[in-house]
Amino acid sequence: MHGTDISDCLIRTIKKYDSLSIKFLRVISTNLDFYFVNQNELKKFRLQNTISVLLNYTYKGESLFVAGLENKLKVNCNVKDYEKQIINSSTLNSSEVSSINHGNGTLVDKIVVMNKFLLSSLFENNNWLFTQLDLYCPFPEKIHEIKIKYNDSLGTMLYKSSIFFNKVEIGSIMFSKVQGE
């Protein structure tokens, strides 16, 4: 299972949100069980260091949490065969990449593939981990253009880009260099 699959599943599960943040806290090697948790349960999971994925979202002024914990079941990885199509439909320009003909895949797939393409072109590195997705608002119903603009590195391993739909900034995405690169 890929981070894009997990993110899409979480977004579809909660359905309604005003803003959200999905953080991947470790490389995932088994399937995940997800739990809607309150602040006290979240503290307990954090102290036990068992959270692999954390979704924090707001809806109608309330802050809510979903924790993803690995179980012992083997991961079924699906092959993402549309990455080349998304890249081929994208236009790279200095520190940003945009696309009008988005290709196949979900919106999260497109954002992740485009950001990886952008970072690989800027830093001559092809080994990236998708670590965080922040959305300041729900996805718009109609999307003409997707643009990803590189912002900054946070230290030497974490890289942040802004996400724009139809020229409006709707969030950010963070990637980490794979260690040893």
CA 176 vs. chain centroid, Å, equals: 12
Same domain? For 112 and 148 the reply is: yes
Please tell me the pTM assigned to this model.
0.91
Domain boundary among 74, 103, 134: 74
24-29: average pLDDT = 87
Quick one: pLDDT at residue 181?
47
d(CA 163, CA 171): 5
Domain boundary among 19, 52, 74: 74
> Encoding tokens for residue 14?
């909660």
Note the pLDDT tens digit of each residue in 139-161: 888 888 999 999 999 887 899 99
Note the pLDDT tens digit of each residue in 69-109: 988 887 766 656 788 888 888 999 999 999 986 667 889 99
Quick one: pLDDT at residue 149?
98
Same domain? For 90 and 70 the reply is: no
57-67: average pLDDT = 95
Same domain? For 120 and 103 the reply is: yes
Same domain? For 69 and 91 the reply is: no
- E strands in 76-120: 90-93, 96-99
Total domains, the chain: 2
Same domain? For 67 and 88 the reply is: no
34-62: average pLDDT = 92
The answer to whether 85 touches 103, Cβ cutoff 8 Å, is yes
Same domain? For 89 and 171 the reply is: yes
Q: What element of type H or E holds 69?
A: strand 62-74
CATH number at residue 136: 3.10.129.10
Q: What element of type H or E holds 131?
A: strand 128-135
Q: Using the predicted structure, report yes or no on whether residue 179 has a pLDDT greater than 90.
A: no
Note the pLDDT tens digit of each residue in 107-140: 999 999 999 999 999 987 778 999 999 999 998 8
Give the structural domain span for 60: 3-74
State the first-to-last Cα distance of the chain, in angstroms, to the nearest integer. 23
> Encoding tokens for residue 112?
């992740």
Same domain? For 56 and 136 the reply is: no
Domain boundary among 25, 46, 74: 74
